[in-house]
Amino acid sequence: MKAIVKVFIGLSLFFGYSFGADCSALAKKYNAPDPASKTMKQIKRWVKRKVKTADAKDLEKCLIAGAADNPNKSKMAGK
């Protein structure tokens, strides 16, 4: 039972870490603006104008999670 819990925790940490790494890598790849200084609407416009690849949806989700006017920001910060 303890081994199963350890495996589950390990996988959760791995997938959580890889998601965070993907967000920062995408932001760096496209030279994205600081999401804390932009509104959700500004971020959506920026992504629509600047990112024409399949990464657009993922990058938009990452940036909106940290947007200045995101009502869920405090909940997302703990993830």
| Domain-wise residue ranges, the chain | 2-77
Q: What is the mean pLDDT of residues 26-46?
A: 93
Q: Which token pair is 68?
A: 């200045």
Q: Is the pLDDT of residue 52 over 80?
A: yes
Residue 69 is predicted with a pLDDT of 84
Residue 16 is predicted with a pLDDT of 45
Residue 62, judged by CB atoms within 10 A of its CB (0-12, 13-18, 19+), counts as: buried
The most confident of 7-16, 44-53, 67-76, by mean pLDDT: 44-53
More confident residue, 75 or 18: 75
Q: Which token pair is 44?
A: 């959506």
